[in-house]
């Protein structure tokens, strides 16, 4: 039985917070959305920990973790996580779970360390093409407002540059991959000034992009969370637990050669 992990770890003059529970492998690593704390996963980690080891952490400048000099990019996020795992003796293979923009960070990690990642679950994940596709639906004023809202965030990440970085990777894999997609649209998901028609068209684009993510692996599939908005882990946590369990079991079978 591995020791529980909870606390702060120095990753090079800065400390990151991490909490782990459960035993066995592969270790599941949860990536929250941009500027979101590790507590976003509180409804799903107990269920996952009954099957395997699961770890949540706060990226630099978020939650309990120390800030880092800005600007930040995905390569630094990947480096921080790699150091954090090594310093806590959490060896691969890993199953990565990414929500929203955290899905892009998960893809970057899998691209950088492909032999370390045994599977992935994307929870209503961002897509590198989403803003280009969304802006095509907007009026010029809505585009201006959208770019203003996205100009700053607590992590100091330039989201436009990171989407371009992920696009350039052209990441593909044969790992087990489950893509969870919201099926309900709450008021908090409707940008100011958008018409019902714009929202409906955006939802069609979102489904197309999520299907594209699932096609990144021949073992990928899409699951629609019919009762969930963007935070599927809060609205239907059992779906996230089930998806992670599916990928973990698939990774175990593959590791054992069955």
- If you search the block for the tokens 């699932």, which residue do you land on? 214
Confidence category of residue 254, pLDDT binned at 50, 70, 90: confident
Confidence category of residue 190, pLDDT binned at 50, 70, 90: confident
**pLDDT over 70 (residue 3):** no
204 half-sphere exposure, CB direction, 13 A CA radius: 6
Q: What is the mean pLDDT of residues 105-117?
A: 98
β-strand partners of 10: 15
What is the tens place of the pLDDT at every residue in 63-98?
A: 999 999 888 999 999 999 999 999 999 999 999 999
Rounded distance, CA 247 to CA 150, Å?
Answer: 32
State how far the alpha carbon of 160 is from the alpha carbons of 24, 66, 126, 127, in Å: 38, 24, 12, 11
Q: What is the mean pLDDT of residues 57-62?
A: 97
Mean pLDDT, the chain, rounded, equals 95
pTM above 0.85, yes or no: yes
Q: Which CATH architecture has domain 5-252?
A: 3-Layer(aba) Sandwich (3.40)
**pLDDT over 70 (residue 240):** yes
Of 188 and 195, more confident: 195
What is the CB neighbour count within 10 angstroms for residue 220?
20
The pLDDT value given to residue 4 = 55
**pLDDT over 50 (residue 1):** no
Rounded distance, CA 165 to CA 150, Å?
Answer: 17
In percent, the amount of the chain with pLDDT more than 70 equals 98
What is the tens place of the pLDDT at every residue in 141-166?
A: 999 999 998 888 989 999 999 999 99
Domain boundaries, the chain: 5-252
The pLDDT value given to residue 188 = 79
């Amino acid at each position: 039985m591995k020791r529980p992990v909870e606390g702060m770890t120095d990753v090079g003059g800065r400390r990151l917070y991490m909490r782990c529970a459960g035993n066995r492998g592969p270790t599941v690593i949860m990536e929250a959305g941009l500027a979101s704390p590790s507590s976003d996963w509180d409804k799903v980690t107990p269920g996952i920990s009954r099957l395997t080891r699961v770890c949540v952490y706060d990226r630099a400048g978020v939650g309990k973790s120390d800030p880092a000099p800005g600007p930040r990019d995905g390569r630094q996020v990947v480096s921080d996580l790699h150091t954090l795992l090594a310093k806590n003796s959490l060896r691969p293979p890993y199953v990565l779970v990414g929500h929203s923009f955290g899905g892009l960070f998960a893809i970057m990690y899998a691209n950088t360390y492909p032999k370390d990642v045994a599977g992935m679950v994307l929870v209503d994940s961002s897509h590198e093409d989403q803003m280009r596709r969304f802006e095509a639906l907007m009026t010029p004023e809505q585009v201006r407002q959208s770019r203003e809202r996205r100009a700053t965030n607590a992590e100091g990440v330039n989201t436009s540059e990171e989407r371009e970085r992920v696009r350039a990777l052209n990441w593909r894999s044969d790992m087990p991959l489950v893509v969870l997609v919201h099926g309900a649209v709450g008021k908090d998901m409707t940008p100011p000034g958008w018409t019902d028609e714009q929202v409906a068209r955006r939802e069609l684009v979102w489904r197309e992009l999520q299907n594209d993510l699932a096609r990144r692996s021949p073992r990928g599939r899409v699951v629609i969370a019919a009762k969930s908005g963007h935070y599927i882990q809060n609205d239907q946590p059992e779906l996230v637990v089930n998806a992670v369990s599916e990928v973990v079991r698939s990774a175990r079978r593959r590791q054992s050669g069955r």
